[in-house]
């Protein structure tokens, strides 16, 4: 570093401290102004010789910079090939929790739990238990015992043990509702939550037990596990950011979950008027009546197969359909522009009959004016045809050798097989006296529905294209369920007490929320699934003498570091460096 003296056109002399360095790419020497000191005449009354004074300052700054750089140098002692590993020694440390920590503390979950703990006589940290369970759910999912066994492999400390964790679960269950409202408020403040349109759906999670109880009950499950279940209703906002959720007994019908959850949301979350988007399983007269009585709106899908003849006539009448562009989204948008698939739709205002439960618990049909929109999607038609071809191929295999298949294995394919029965004791497909054959009439019947779907909405004045686009956003909630079940391994649930079950799903919900917020910060550049994979790989390996070597760095980690203002790109770090990075991840 040196003092640069520059004479200006106005005759005055400017002083500045300049640092010389070699450009790593061009290898040329360049200068960088560290500090502009101002004009020489401004210092003549302060120093006998301002130039000499500031040259000494530059010299001292150079020495300080040199000492600072020396501190950054890491010197390893000798490494011997005779050094041996100890039993159960793990040299890897999780670092991927730091971007998660940034969002965790941005949502002020730590403050919420620390404030609640002040009124409790417990020695362990509720906040540490929550962080461990959330970070482990994302980085190394498993049972609660497995989460705490992984505790020492995090590059930070948690003031809690396994028995503390189980005790904390009961407390989390009690704090659940207040914490969910707190999270909603923080998302509203920090992310300007948009909730004019919300997405709602239901899924179930199974337990590795055979007998049900008052909460975990056997019900319909797509995976056909025949295990006791709990149902989860999940609500997302317009940007697919989770708002809240609620658990229900495993045998609760999907349509009976919406009203209890939305009633609570209206009371405690202050969302104002909302338009709820949901699949046909939620399309019941009672739900429609409930939403309209609250002056809310709805966009529901509606079944065509098995619907009234009048609706089917409207769907399959080719008149009045209009081709529309800009509705279908695809990974390859360029391909869509060159050869856009057919997408057409039409609508009508129609008095539809709904079965609504009255005060005397009797269901009666009531006509309600709704907008019916029917669509044909060529991409959807091709996908349905491809899936059916796979099922028909399986049907032929069953016809050739029925005894090789059980009912649960043959499920969908039996729809296309005639003259075959199921043994009630073994569940095995058996031949009858008649020869089994392919039910071609059923194939033809199913083909006619390919590509068609129907939507009903209370929003009569909303343009059809906006209604359909809102409905297409429903796939995000299915994706959220897939993330929790597959990537976060929420099931099978390995706790049994009801309050522990509630706490388990609370930690899973917060994990999903954090991932979705990271996705939003990155403006959708990297999916939640991709973020999970990268953060799991982002680890540090102990080398020697308190020095760690980072093992993974990719575009996702690079983007997260930039957007969260965390220096995640160091190749080597000391334990102190890691501690400082952890501390930085807790700052807003």
SS3 category, 219: coil
| Residue 136: alpha-carbon gap to chain centroid | 15
Q: What is the pTM of this model?
A: 0.81
Per residue in 210-248, pLDDT tens? 788 888 888 776 666 678 899 999 999 999 999 999 999
Query: Burial code of 19-35, b = ≥16 C-beta within 10 A, e = fewer?
Result: beeeeeeeeeeeeeeee
* C-alpha–C-alpha distance, residues 538 and 432, integer Å: 59
Strand partners, 367: 353
Omega within 30 of 0 (cis) for the link into 100? no
Q: Are 202 and 276 in contact (CB under 8 A)?
A: no
Task: Identify the CA nearest to 42 among candidates 8, 76, 70.
Answer: 8
What is the end-to-end Cα distance of the chain in Å, rounded?
34
Distance (Å, whole) CA 79 – CA 95: 25
CA–CA separation, 18 and 32 (whole Å): 6
**Distance between CA atoms of residues 288 and 45, nearest Å:** 83
Is the CB of residue 124 less than 8 Å from the CB of residue 160?
yes
Query: How does residue 505 score in pLDDT terms, banded at 50, 70 and 90?
Result: very high
| Cα gap 534→447, rounded to integer Å | 42
What is the model's pLDDT at position 432? 79
The more confident residue out of 124 and 264 is: 124
Task: Output 479-482 pairs: Cβ under 8 A, ≥24 positions apart.
Answer: 479/240, 480/234, 480/236, 480/240, 480/242, 480/512, 480/516, 481/201, 481/203, 481/234
Of the chain, the percentage scoring pLDDT greater than 70 comes to: 94
Sheet holding 547-550, edge to edge: 92-94, 539-544, 547-550, 572-574
Query: In angstroms, rounded to a whole number, what is the distance separating the alpha carbons of residues 176 and 505?
Result: 10
Are the C-beta atoms of 367 and 353 separated by less than 8 Å? Answer: yes
Stronger pLDDT, 65 or 308, i.e. the higher one: 308
The full DSSP string for 352-388 is EEEEEE-TTS-EEEEEEEEEEEEEEEHHHHHHHHHHH
Contacts of 167 (CB under 8 A, 6+ apart): 122, 124
Q: What is the mean pLDDT of residues 529-546?
A: 92
Separation between Cα atoms, residue 216 and residue 495, nearest integer Å:
11
Q: Dmax of the chain from CA atoms?
A: 118
Q: Which helix H or strand E contains 451, and what residues bound it?
A: none
Q: Across the chain, what does the average pLDDT equal?
A: 89
Q: What is the pLDDT of residue 134?
A: 97
Residue, of 468 and 73, whose pLDDT is higher: 468
What average pLDDT does the segment 265-291 reach?
91
3 pLDDT above the threshold of 60: yes
Q: What pLDDT band is residue 336 in, cutting at 50, 70 and 90?
A: very low
Query: What's the pLDDT band for 335 if we cut at 50, 70, 90?
Result: very low
Please report the pLDDT score of residue 541 as a whole number: 93
* pLDDT 10s digits, 424-446: 788 888 877 788 899 999 999 99
Alpha helices per DSSP H over 93-213? 97-106, 109-117, 126-139, 144-149, 162-191
Mean pLDDT of 68-75: 61
Say how many C-beta atoms besides its own lie within 10 A of residue 334's C-beta.
Answer: 7
Q: What is the pLDDT of residue 73?
A: 64
- Looking at residue 71, what is its pLDDT? 58
Q: How far is CA 98 from the centre of its chain?
A: 17
- CA proximity to 326, closest of 522, 526, 472: 472
Alpha-carbon distance of 523 to 527, in angstroms, equals: 10
Q: Give dist(CA 138, CA 134) in Å, integer.
A: 7
CB-count burial class (<10 Å; 0-12, 13-18, 19+) for 341: middle
User: What is the pLDDT at residue 63?
Assistant: 80
**Cα–Cα distance, 331 to 339 (Å, whole number):** 14
User: Would you kindly state where each structural domain of the chain is located, as residue ranges?
Assistant: 2-72, 92-144+525-585, 304-458
Query: Contact at 8 Å (CB) between 158 and 132?
Result: yes
Confidence band of 334 (pLDDT split at 50, 70, 90):
very low
Res. 266: pLDDT tops 60:
yes
Helix locations, 377-431, DSSP H: 378-400, 407-410
Identify the CA nearest to 4 among candidates 42, 43, 41, 31.
Answer: 31
Give the phi and the psi of residue 247 in degrees, each rounded to 5.
Answer: -95, 145
Describe the chain by its helix, strand, coil percentages, rounded to 5.
45, 25, 35
The tens digit of pLDDT for each residue in 389-432 reads 999 999 999 888 888 888 777 778 888 999 888 887 888 888 77
418-432 exposure pattern, b = at least 16 Cβ within 10 A, e = fewer: bebebeeeeebbeee
* Position 333 pLDDT exceeds 70: no
Record the tokens describing residue 251, joined without a space.
């045998």
Element (H, E) at 249: strand 242-249
Residue 318 to residues 301, 307, 312, 325, 447, Cα–Cα distance (Å): 20, 18, 11, 18, 16
Give the CA angle between residues 583, 586, 588 to the nearest 5°: 125
CA neighbor of 193 nearest in space, from 265, 100, 252: 265
pLDDT at position 67 over 80? no
Q: What is the pLDDT of residues 180-189, one digit of tens each?
A: 999 999 999 9
User: What are the residues whose beta carbons fall under 8 Å from the beta carbon of 103, sequence distance 6 or more?
Assistant: 514, 517, 518
Whole-angstrom Cα distance, residue 220 to residue 222? 7
């Amino acid at each position: 570093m040196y003092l640069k003296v520059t004479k200006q056109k106005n005759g005055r002399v400017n002083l500045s401290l300049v640092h010389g360095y070699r450009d790593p790419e061009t290898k040329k020497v360049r200068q960088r102004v560290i500090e502009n000191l101002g004009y020489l005449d401004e210092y003549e009354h302060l120093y006998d010789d301002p130039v000499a004074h500031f040259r000494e300052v530059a010299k001292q700054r150079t020495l300080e910079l040199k000492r600072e750089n020396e501190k950054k140098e890491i010197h390893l002692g000798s490494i011997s090939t005779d050094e041996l590993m100890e039993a159960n020694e793990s040299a890897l440390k999780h670092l991927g929790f730091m971007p998660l920590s940034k969002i965790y503390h941005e949502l002020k979950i730590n403050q919420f739990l620390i404030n609640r703990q002040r009124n409790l006589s417990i020695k362990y940290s509720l906040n540490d238990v929550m962080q461990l369970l959330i970070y482990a759910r994302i980085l190394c999912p498993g049972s609660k015992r497995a989460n705490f066994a992984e505790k020492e492999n995090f590059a930070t400390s948690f003031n809690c043990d396994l028995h503390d964790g189980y005790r904390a679960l009961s407390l989390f269950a009690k704090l659940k509702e207040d914490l969910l409202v707190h999270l909603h408020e923080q998302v509203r403040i920090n992310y300007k939550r948009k909730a004019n349109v919300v997405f709602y759906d239901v899924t179930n999670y199974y337990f590795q037990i055979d007998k049900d109880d008052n909460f975990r009950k056997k019900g319909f499950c797509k995976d056909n596990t025949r295990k006791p279940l709990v149902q989860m209703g999940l609500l997302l906002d317009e940007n697919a950011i989770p708002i809240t959720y609620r658990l229900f007994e495993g045998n609760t019908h999907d349509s009976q979950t919406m009203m209890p959850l939305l009633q609570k949301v209206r009371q405690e979350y202050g969302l104002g008027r909302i338009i709820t988007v949901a699949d046909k399983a939620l399309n019941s007269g009672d739900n429609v009546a409930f939403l309209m009585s609250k002056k809310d709106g709805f966009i529901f899908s509606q079944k065509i197969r098995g619907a009234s003849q009048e609706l089917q006539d409207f769907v399959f009448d080719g008149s009045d359909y209009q081709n529309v562009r800009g509705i279908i989204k695809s990974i390859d948008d360029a391909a869509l522009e060159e050869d856009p698939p057919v997408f057409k739709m039409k609508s009508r205002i129609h008095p539809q009959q709904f079965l609504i439960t009255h005060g005397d618990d009797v269901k009666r049909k009531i006509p309600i004016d709704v907008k019916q929109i029917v669509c044909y999607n060529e991409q959807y038609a091709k996908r349905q045809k491809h899936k059916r071809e796979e099922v028909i191929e399986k049907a032929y295999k069953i016809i050739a050798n029925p005894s090789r298949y059980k009912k649960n294995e043959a499920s969908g394919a039996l729809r296309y097989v005639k003259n075959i029965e199921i043994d009630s004791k073994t569940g095995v497909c058996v031949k009858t006296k008649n020869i089994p054959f392919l039910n071609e009439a059923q194939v033809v019947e199913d083909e006619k529905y390919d590509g068609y779907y129907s939507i009903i909405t209370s929003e009569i004045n909303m343009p059809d294209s906006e209604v359909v686009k809102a409905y297409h956003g429903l796939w995000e909630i299915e994706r959220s369920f897939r993330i929790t079940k597959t990537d976060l391994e929420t099931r099978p649930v390995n706790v049994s007490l009801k309050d522990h079950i509630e706490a388990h799903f609370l930690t899973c919900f917060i994990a999903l929320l954090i991932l979705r917020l990271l996705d939003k910060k990155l403006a959708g550049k990297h999916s939640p699934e991709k973020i999970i994979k990268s953060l799991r790989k982002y680890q540090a390996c102990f080398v020697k003498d308190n020095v760690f070597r980072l093992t993974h760095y990719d575009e996702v980690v690079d983007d997260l570091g930039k957007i969260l203002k965390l220096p995640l790109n160091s190749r080597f770090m000391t334990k102190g460096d890691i501690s400082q990075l952890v501390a930085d991840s807790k700052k807003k």
